[in-house]
Structure 1
Amino acid sequence: MSTGNASRSTTWSRKPAAKGSRTATLDLLVPQGRVSMVGVPPEPIAAHPMRLLPAEKTISGGVPASPGETRLMLGFAARYGIGPQVETFPVA
């Protein structure tokens, strides 16, 4: 099955977005795709359940650590040579 321009996952941040663009992103996800929220967006996100349920799409999120916790985590990673794991996907 070809997914065309569809995406398996995407991440939303706190940056302001054009009205409706965040929920329009849901249409770009493949079945069982996931939107991961980083932080709290400045406006509520509205998504009708029928945009999610039939294709088993997911919206998830988490609150980032405080600046002090982030420094501690980065210091730990540097001390033990832990680096990021980056996974990229073609857009087209």
Structure 2
Amino acid sequence: MLDHGLGTGEFLERRILRIWPAHLIMLALLAGFVFGTGAIGLAPQNPQWFQWSQLPPQIFLVQAWFVPAASGWNMPTWTLSALIVCYAGFPAAWRS
């Protein structure tokens, strides 16, 4: 148990629920923008960044867990991907 009776599972759930919904909303808006602009004939400046095959790792925030890491879509979310790993290790570190 963590401080104030907060268990590891509840701690992780709260952290993920704090990050993931906003991430999904912004990623959906970005995907809609890329799809919409593509439908009217406007290509992104760097089309290699918006490969549809790279979207699932972005959705689940695991895009920064692999080498070489996938780039594209919402690139700044690699920090959220790394943060999830840190959150997962925090309860064990706190107990130590």
- Using structure 1 for the length normalisation, give the TM-score: 0.21
- Using structure 2 for the length normalisation, give the TM-score: 0.21
